[in-house]
Amino acid sequence: MTDVSIRPATVADAPTLARLYREAYAMNVDLGFPSRAVEATSADLEGWIREARLFVASDGGKLVGAIRYRDEGKYDPDAPEFGRLAVPPRARGRGHADSLIHHVESVAKRAGHDRLRLRTFDGHPFLPEMYRHRGYEPTRVRELEGAPFDVLHMCKRFDRRK
């Protein structure tokens, strides 16, 4: 793992983040999991930055990943959630995803939350297992009509004594 720094995204990051998301999500499309993130524009990223908390990871001054965090989840307003985790192929295997996930877990804990949720592609060849390895457990699968995949909802509960 390298020495990565994490900070809130700014609107000035939007053009670079749009490229980062397109690169990061291209493999999912190739695997049969289409996502709007693969077509992300600077304007899209400006909206994401304004509507939620988007954090970026930088290594040596270059953006190497991003993650979106919401204090109120889309499907459970009583629990925060994260999504849109993105690390482009050139930066994978260096612990950047772990650093970003750990960061949003810390944000949730500091805010007094006892759990953190996420949604991912059900049936994806490695994402559900990656999250299980980090302590997230499946809570339900939501069918998406007309989509080639369903959505797996997962949750990690925090030990309040730590």
Q: Distance between CA atoms of 97 and 95, rounded to whole angstroms?
A: 6
In a domain, 106, yes or no: yes
Cα 101 to the chain's mean position, in Å?
7
Give me the mean pLDDT over the 61-67 stretch: 94
The amino acid at residue 90 is: R
In a domain, 137, yes or no: yes
In a domain, 9, yes or no: yes
In a domain, 162, yes or no: no
pLDDT at 57: 96
Find the domain containing 62 and state its range: 5-157
In a domain, 103, yes or no: yes
Q: What is the token pair recorded at 102?
A: 């750990």
| 69 backbone dihedrals φ, ψ, rounded to 5° | -130, 135
- Indicate which CATH number applies to the domain containing 131: 3.40.630.30
In a domain, 32, yes or no: yes
71-108 per-position pLDDT tens digit: 887 777 788 999 999 999 888 888 899 999 999 999 99
State how many domains the chain has.
Answer: 1
Give me the mean pLDDT over the 114-129 stretch: 94
Q: Distance between CA atoms of 13 and 48, rounded to whole angstroms?
A: 11
DSSP codes joined into one string, 9-26: --GGGHHHHHHHHHHHHH
- What is this structure's pTM? 0.91
131: left (phi over 0), alpha (psi -120 to 50) or beta: alpha
pLDDT at 74: 76
33 neighbors 148 (Cβ within 8 angstroms): yes
